[in-house]
Amino acid sequence: MRVPTFRHTCNNVATNYCIRIFVPLYLILLLTHLRLAYIVLLFLLSFLGATAQPICHLKIKGIVLDGETNQPFEGVSVFLKEFNVGTVSDAKGRFELSKLCEGEHEVVYSFLGYKTYVAKYKLTEETVYDRVLLHTDTCVLES
């Protein structure tokens, strides 16, 4: 909708009458459009704010070592309990869990024949580095 300017409307009307009648009408019309635009903007901003989710860009990185030999441990299951996601340590014992949100997380480290290790991390920085030692489980039955 186009808002008329009072200059065009006042061409055929006495100037004094024009200023008293059309200028206030023009201002009311202009303010009505501004209010409508303001309400629409508030509505859009509130909708976008309600649907926005936190950006989860934090990481837990580290290395898993054999507790007896202090050598890198390949194939260790590194599992994040809350989200049922995990990874496996590589040939150099390294692992990385990414796209994590700020807060506390429990990570379970396990390998057959070794004691399961559970670590709790409080993520506030971008990346947490850890060095994990897994020790053999002496309660494993031998055949």
Bridge partner residues of 59 (DSSP): 127
pLDDT, mean over the chain: 78
Nearest 5°: CA angle at 54, between 125 and 130? 30
For residues 66-78, b (16+ Cβ closer than 10 Å) or e, as one string?
A: beeeeebbeebbb
Q: Which amino acid is at 2?
A: R
Taking only the tens place, the pLDDT of each residue in 88-134 is 999 999 999 998 888 899 999 999 999 999 999 998 877 889 999 99
Task: Check residue 47 and give its pLDDT.
Answer: 56
The rounded distance, in Å, linking the Cα atoms of 20 and 79 is 76
Taking only the tens place, the pLDDT of each residue in 25-45 is 666 766 676 666 555 445 555
Which of these, 71, 56, 62, lies nearest to 117 by C-alpha position?
62
Looking at the chain, the whole-number percentage of residues with pLDDT higher than 90 is 41
Q: What is the pTM of this model?
A: 0.60
